[in-house]
């Protein structure tokens, strides 16, 4: 007997589970399965309820419908059904407190004021919409007044600067160089270097010239996808023709070899 056998024989055997423990484990598994099946059935009922409610919503004149506070799983079901039905779904509120989903029709999306109010936990009604509209008008008036004040101050500054410049002697501001710098570096740059450097640049006609408006793709998304699919079909046809041609060529070569 080697050392490993000695160590293994000295170790205690794992505890065996008696029939009572096995029965308890089996009951626990059955209970977990029943809970999971119950949750699945509840989600199926909730999905059916949401589908029926959105079906009625699509046929009436309401612009949005609001659901009660729910957990992430139920809200994900609402968002999934709303996306499949062509609606807009958004969630507002604090998690695990009052977070709920609101579904809008695509032709009546929420305004910026409504989204802000719901995120602030104020809800949305005609009174709240009126209040936010008045706030927005006041804010725009303040911004417009501030812009006008800044424009007036800048205009006054420019007029003051213009009057001070007109009162001074123009000849006193004019500065004329006493020497010609080109004469100092004539032996390096030559007499006509400045004229050559300042020549008018023109477009190289050999490269062509395309207006920027011609570079824009004016096709719709559907037309673009159709063109891509057409190119793929053409490429597959060309590959199939090349494959058939190679097969025919190889067969001819084999026939020639057999005849020889």
pTM of the model: 0.49
Judge whether 191 and 182 are in contact, CB under 8 Å: yes
Q: At residue 105, what are phi and psi to the nearest 5 degrees?
A: -80, 145
CB neighbours of residue 87 within 10 Å:
19
Q: What is the C-alpha separation between 151 and 128, in angstroms, rounded?
A: 35
CATH architecture classification, 31-110: 2-Layer Sandwich (3.30)
Give the three-state DSSP class for 101. strand
CA angle 128, 132, 138 (to 5 degrees): 145
Name the band, by pLDDT with cuts 50, 70 and 90, for residue 197. low
pLDDT in tens, 118-173: 998 888 888 999 999 898 889 888 888 888 888 888 777 766 655 555 555 555 55
230 pLDDT higher than 70: yes
Mean pLDDT lowest among 8-12, 48-52, 150-154: 8-12
**What mean pLDDT do residues 205-211 have?**
57
Of 126, 89, 131, nearest in space to 110 by CA: 89
29 pLDDT higher than 70: yes
* Ranges of each domain in the chain: 31-110, 123-151, 220-251
Q: What is the C-alpha separation between 150 and 142, in angstroms, rounded?
A: 12
Judge whether 47 and 77 are in contact, CB under 8 Å: yes
Long-range contact pairs involving 114-120 (C-beta distance under 8 Å, separation at least 24):
115/90, 118/90, 118/92, 119/92
Name the band, by pLDDT with cuts 50, 70 and 90, for residue 229. confident
User: What DSSP string describes 135-179?
Assistant: HHHHHHHHHHHHHHHHHHHHHHHHHHHHHHHHHS-HHHH----SS
Give the three-state DSSP class for 88. strand
């Amino acid at each position: 007997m080697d050392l490993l056998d000695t160590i293994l024989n000295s170790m205690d055997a794992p505890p065996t589970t008696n029939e009572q423990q096995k029965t308890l484990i089996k009951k626990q598994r059955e209970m977990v399965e029943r809970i999971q099946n119950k949750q699945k059935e509840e989600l199926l009922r909730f999905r059916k309820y949401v589908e029926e409610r959105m079906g009625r919503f699509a046929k009436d004149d309401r612009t949005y419908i609001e659901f009660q506070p729910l957990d992430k799983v139920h809200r994900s079901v609402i968002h999934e059904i709303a996306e499949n039905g062509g609606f807009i779904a958004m969630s507002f509120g604090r998690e695990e407190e009052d977070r709920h989903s609101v579904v809008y029709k695509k032709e009546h999306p929420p305004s910026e004021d409504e989204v802000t109010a719901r995120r602030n936990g104020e809800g949305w009604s005609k009174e709240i919409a009126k209040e936010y509209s008045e706030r927005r008008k006041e804010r725009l008036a303040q911004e417009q007044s501030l812009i006008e004040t800044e424009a007036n101050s800048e205009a006054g500054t420019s007029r003051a600067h213009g009057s001070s410049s007109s009162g001074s002697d123009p000849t006193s501001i004019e500065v004329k160089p006493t020497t010609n710098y080109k004469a100092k570096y004539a032996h390096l740059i030559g007499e006509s270097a400045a004229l050559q450097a300042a020549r008018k640049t023109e477009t190289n006609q050999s490269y062509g010239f395309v207006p920027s408006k011609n570079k824009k793709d004016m096709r719709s998304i559907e037309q673009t996808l159709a063109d891509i699919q057409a190119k793929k079909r053409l490429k597959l046809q060309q590959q199939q023709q090349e494959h058939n041609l190679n097969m025919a060529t190889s067969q001819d070569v084999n026939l020639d070899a057999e005849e020889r």
